[in-house]
């Protein structure tokens, strides 16, 4: 978990984000950063530099979300609204696309 959080900080450093913990960012911006991170990790740019499954990508994003949540006021960046039970539309579409890519035969 710690190495995934460090990898997220490296990702934000590579993007030159001024605020990697997204302290003052609006929720939509947080979701977009999480979606970019999910695509980045899912494309093979991860700790092991190989293609990983969509469930592992979800773990990377969950660890990123917990790091951002510690820095902010208990904000859950997965959801469109805090009262929602489901993951937001942006991250759902990214995870669905990664699952679809997994099912393609070699």
Q: State the total domains in the chain.
A: 1
> CA quadruple 30, 36, 38, 40: dihedral positive or negative?
negative
Answer with the residue of higher pLDDT: 82 or 28: 28
Q: What is the DSSP letter of 43?
A: T
Kindly report the number of other CB atoms within 10 A of residue 30's CB atom.
22
Kindly report, residue by residue over 70-102, the tens digit of the pLDDT: 876 556 777 777 777 788 889 999 999 999 988
CA distance 67 to 72: 9
Residue-range definition of the domain harbouring residue 87:
2-102
Answer with the residue of higher pLDDT: 74 or 22: 22
Whether the predicted pLDDT of 43 surpasses 60: yes
pTM of the model: 0.88
pLDDT for the residue 73: 58
Q: For 13-33, what is the mean pLDDT?
A: 88
pLDDT for the residue 10: 93
Whether the predicted pLDDT of 40 surpasses 70: yes
pLDDT for the residue 37: 94
What is the 3-state secondary structure of 46-104?
A: CCCCCCCCHHHHHHHHHHHHHHHHHHCCCCCCCCCCCCCCCCCHHHHHHHHHHHHHHCC
């Amino acid at each position: 978990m710690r190495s995934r959080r460090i990898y997220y900080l490296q990702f934000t450093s590579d993007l030159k984000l001024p605020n990697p913990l997204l302290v003052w960012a609006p929720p939509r911006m947080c979701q977009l950063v999480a979606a970019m991170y999910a695509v980045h990790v899912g494309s093979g740019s991860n700790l092991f530099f190989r293609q990983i499954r969509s469930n592992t990508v979800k773990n990377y994003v969950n660890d990123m979300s917990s790091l951002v949540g510690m820095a902010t006021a208990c904000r859950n960046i997965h959801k469109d609204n805090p009262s929602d039970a489901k993951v937001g539309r942006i991250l759902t579409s990214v995870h669905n696309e990664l699952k679809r890519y997994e099912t393609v035969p070699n």
